[in-house]
C-alpha cells in the first residue's frame, strides 16, 4: 500500500510511494532518482547490473515531473535525503510529463512571476511555494478556531449585489438578467444588517472585488477579506479583538508550520500586543517630518507616508481618530468633535492590513452621512431599513488575507499569496 514519503524512515523495511520525479542524476552504471510528494522527498537508485528489465526500461523512459510508483526494500543511507533510500523492485511510470517543462520545479533556472503564474500548477510543486499555501491554510483554520471559540457565527453574504459599499467607484458591473448588479466590494452592509438580526458576533472569510485600475504589488482585483462585526462593542473593543487575532495567527503558524517556515527561510516573531495606538494627527506629523512630498492634516496617507510612519513605528500599530471626511459614511463621529471619527486602520510597517470602526447605528445620522459623501440614500434603502427597527450599537473591521500573509512571510508581491491572482491583466488561468 502507498504511504506518504515522510513516513518512510531509515528503519522502514519496505515501502511503496507515489510522487513526482523531482531530479534525475545519471552516473552511467547508477541512476539516482529523487521522488517527491507533498510530504517530502525520497531517493531511489537504479543500479544497471541489478535492476529488472521493466525497472531499467521505465528508468530510461521517465522524464522529470512524471508521476511514478516506486516500491521495494528500504535501506539506511547517510548521504540520501532523509537518510534512506528505496531499492526499486517496482518503478512504474503512472503519468508521464511532457518535455520541455514550462517551468523548472527545482529552480535551477529562475522564472519571473508571470511565467510562474502562467504555469501555477507546476509552480506550486516547489516546496517553497507550496509552503506559502500551507501557511495560508493554517491562518484560515486559526481564524475559524479563534472566532468560533469566542462565540462568533460564521456567515455567508452575497457576492452579487445591487449597491456599492465603499463608495461609488471601483465596482465591477455584471450581467444579471435584466437588473443592474455588481460584484461585492465588501460584506460591510450585510454584516451590519446581521447586527439588526440579533446575531451579535459574526465573521466571514470570503472574496471581495475591487475594480482598481492600477497595478501595484499590494493590490488585487479579487482579494480575500476576513470580516468581523460585533454588537454592543465600540472601536476600542474590536481593536483588541483584531490584535489578539493577528497574534494568534502568528503563534499558530509558528506552532504548526515549522517545516514550511524553514522552506521559506522565515523566522517568525509573534507580534507583541497591545499594538501602539497612534492618533491620525500624530501620524501626519511623523510623515510630514520624514517625507519630501507635501502632506497636511486631512489628507489620505500616501504610500510614501505609510512607509515613513511604518519605519518610525517599527511594528504593527493602529492609526486612530481619523478625520470623518476621509473615512466611509458608516464610521461613527465623536460626539464632542464630529470632525473626527471612531475609525482605525491597523498597519504593518510595510502597509495597511485592516480598516475598521465603530459604526453609526442611528438611522437619521447615517442618512445624513451618506448624503454628506455625495451618495444617494435611495440606493441604500435595503441597508437603511434595519436601522429603523432596533439596530444595536456595533463595531467591526475587515482585514486582507493576502496582505496579512504577504507581510507575515516577507513576500515582495501580493500575487505570491494567491493561487490564481486576478489583476489588471490577468484572468487566466
Binding residues: 166, 210-212, 218-220, 352, 355, 359, 400-403
Contact 182, 173 (CB under 8 A): yes
Instruction: Give the number of C-alpha atoms closer than 13 A to the C-alpha of residue 196, restricted to the C-beta side.
Output: 19
Q: Is 320 in the site for ligand AMO (CB under 6 A)?
A: no
Residue placing its CB nearer to ligand AMO in the complex, 80 or 142: 142
Residue placing its CB nearer to ligand AMO in the complex, 188 or 231: 188
Q: Which of 88, 323, 396, 421 binds ligand AMO (CB under 6 A)?
A: 396
* C-alpha span between 56 and 323 (Å, rounded): 73
Neighbouring-strand partners of residue 183: 160
Residue placing its CB nearer to ligand ATP in the complex, 294 or 390: 294
Size of the site for ligand ATP (CB under 6 A): 11
Q: How far is the CB of 192 from ligand AMO (least distance, A)?
A: 9
Q: How far is the CB of 398 from ligand AMO (least distance, A)?
A: 3
Residue placing its CB nearer to ligand ATP in the complex, 215 or 262: 215
The window from 60-68, 129-137, 333-341, 391-399 that contacts ligand AMO (CB under 6 A) reads 391-399
Q: Which of 66, 143, 188, 324 binds ligand AMO (CB under 6 A)?
A: 188
Q: Which residues are annotated as a binding site for ATP?
A: 210-212, 218-220, 352, 400-403
From 204, 231, 355, 416, the catalytic residue:
355
Q: Is 352 in the site for ligand ATP (CB under 6 A)?
A: yes
Q: Is 293 in the site for ligand ATP (CB under 6 A)?
A: no
Q: Site residues for ligand AMO, window 236-265 (CB under 6 A)?
A: none
Size of the site for ligand AMO (CB under 6 A): 23
Q: Which of 352, 379, 419, 424 binds ligand AMO (CB under 6 A)?
A: 352
User: How many whole angstroms from its chain centre is CA 7?
Assistant: 30
Q: Which of 57, 95, 216, 376 binds ligand ATP (CB under 6 A)?
A: 216
Residue placing its CB nearer to ligand ATP in the complex, 137 or 303: 303
Q: Is 220 in the site for ligand AMO (CB under 6 A)?
A: yes
Residue 335 bears catalytic tag: no
Residue 53 bears catalytic tag: no
Task: Indicate which of ligand AMO, ligand ATP, none lies near residue 302 (CB less than 5 to 8 Å, by partner kind).
Answer: ligand ATP
Task: Indicate which of ligand ATP, ligand AMO, none lies near residue 301 (CB less than 5 to 8 Å, by partner kind).
Answer: ligand ATP
Q: Site residues for ligand AMO, window 139-168 (CB under 6 A)?
A: 166
Q: Site residues for ligand ATP, window 157-196 (CB under 6 A)?
A: 166
Q: Which of 52, 137, 154, 303 binds ligand ATP (CB under 6 A)?
A: 303
Residue 151 CB partners (closer than 8 Å, separation 6+): 200, 201
Contact 256, 138 (CB under 8 A): yes
Residue 11 bears catalytic tag: no
**Grid cell 486582507 in the structure block, residue:** 400
From 6, 92, 170, 219, the catalytic residue:
219
Q: Which of 108, 214, 296, 412 binds ligand ATP (CB under 6 A)?
A: 214
3-state secondary structure the chain: CECCHHHCCCCCCEEEEEEEEEEEEECCCEEEEEEEECCEEEEEEEECCCCCHHHHHHHHHCCCCCEEEEEEEEEECCCCHHHEEECCCEEEEEECCCCCCCCCCCCCCCCCHHHHHHCHHHHCCCHHHHHHHHHHHHHHHHHHHHHHHCCCEECCCCCEECCCCCCCCCCCEEEECCEEEEECCCCHHHHHHHHHCCCCEEEEEEEEECCCCCCCCCCCCEEEEEEEEEECCCHHHHHHHHHHHHHHHHHHHHHHCHHHHHHHCCCCCCCCCCCCEEEHHHHHHHHHHHCCCCCCCCCCCCHHHHHHHHHHHCCCEEEECEEHHHCCCCECECCCCCCEECEEEEEECCEEEEEEEEECCCHHHHHHHHHHCCCCHHHHHHHHHHHHCCCCCEEEEEEEHHHHHHHHHCCCCHHHHCCCCCECCECCC
Q: How far is the CB of 244 from ligand ATP (least distance, A)?
A: 21
From 282, 352, 422, 424, the catalytic residue:
352
By the criterion CB under 6 A, which residues form the site for ligand ATP?
A: 166, 214, 216, 219, 300-303, 351-352, 355
- Active-site annotation, residues: 210, 212, 218-219, 352, 355, 403
Amino acid at each position: 500500500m502507498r504511504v506518504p514519503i515522510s513516513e518512510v524512515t531509515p528503519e522502514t523495511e519496505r515501502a511503496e510511494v507515489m510522487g513526482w520525479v523531482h531530479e534525475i542524476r545519471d552516473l552511467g552504471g547508477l541512476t539516482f532518482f529523487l521522488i517527491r510528494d507533498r510530504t517530502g522527498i525520497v531517493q531511489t537508485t537504479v543500479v544497471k547490473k541489478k535492476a529488472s528489465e521493466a525497472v531499467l526500461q521505465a528508468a530510461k523512459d521517465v522524464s522529470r515531473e512524471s508521476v511514478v510508483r516506486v516500491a521495494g526494500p528500504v535501506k539506511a543511507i547517510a548521504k540520501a535525503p532523509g537518510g534512506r533510500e528505496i531499492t526499486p523492485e517496482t518503478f512504474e511510470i503512472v503519468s508521464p510529463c511532457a518535455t520541455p517543462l514550462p517551468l523548472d520545479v527545482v529552480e535551477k533556472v529562475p522564472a519571473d512571476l508571470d511565467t510562474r503564474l502562467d504555469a501555477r500548477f507546476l509552480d506550486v510543486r516547489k516546496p517553497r511555494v507550496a509552503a506559502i499555501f500551507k501557511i495560508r491554510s493554517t491562518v484560515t483554520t486559526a481564524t475559524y478556531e479563534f472566532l468560533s471559540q469566542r462565540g462568533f457565527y460564521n456567515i455567508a453574504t452575497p457576492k452579487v449585489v445591487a449597491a456599492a459599499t465603499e463608495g461609488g467607484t471601483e465596482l465591477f458591473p455584471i450581467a444579471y438578467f435584466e437588473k443592474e448588479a455588481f460584484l461585492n466590494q465588501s460584506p460591510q452592509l450585510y454584516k451590519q444588517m446581521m447586527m439588526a438580526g440579533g446575531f451579535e458576533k459574526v465573521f466571514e472569510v470570503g472574496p471581495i472585488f475591487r475594480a482598481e485600475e492600477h497595478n501595484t504589488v499590494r493590490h488585487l482585483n479579487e482579494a480575500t477579506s476576513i470580516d468581523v462585526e460585533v454588537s454592543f462593542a465600540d472601536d476600542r473593543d474590536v481593536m483588541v479583538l483584531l490584535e489578539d487575532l493577528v497574534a494568534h495567527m502568528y503563534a499558530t503558524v509558528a506552532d504548526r508550520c515549522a517545516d514550511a517556515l524553514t522552506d521559506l527561510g522565515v523566522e517568525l516573531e509573534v507580534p507583541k500586543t497591545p499594538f501602539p495606538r497612534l492618533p491620525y494627527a500624530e501620524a501626519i506629523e511623523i510623515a510630514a517630518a520624514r517625507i519630501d512630498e507635501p502632506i497636511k492634516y486631512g489628507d489620505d496617507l500616501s504610500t510614501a507616508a505609510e512607509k515613513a510612519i511604518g519605519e518610525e513605528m517599527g511594528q504593527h500599530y493602529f492609526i486612530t481618530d481619523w478625520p470623518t471626511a476621509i473615512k466611509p459614511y458608516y464610521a461613527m463621529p465623536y460626539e464632542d468633535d464630529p470632525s473626527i471619527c471612531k475609525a482605525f486602520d491597523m498597519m504593518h510597517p510595510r502597509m495597511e492590513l485592516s480598516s475598521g470602526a465603530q459604526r453609526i447605528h442611528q438611522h437619521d445620522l447615517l442618512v445624513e452621512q451618506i448624503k454628506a459623501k455625495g451618495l444617494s440614500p435611495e440606493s441604500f434603502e435595503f441597508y437603511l431599513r434595519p436601522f429603523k427597527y432596533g439596530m444595536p450599537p456595533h463595531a467591526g473591521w475587515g482585514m486582507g488575507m493576502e496582505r496579512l500573509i504577504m507581510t507575515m512571510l516577507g513576500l515582495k508581491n501580493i500575487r505570491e499569496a494567491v493561487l490564481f491572482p486576478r489583476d489588471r491583466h490577468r484572468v487566466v488561468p
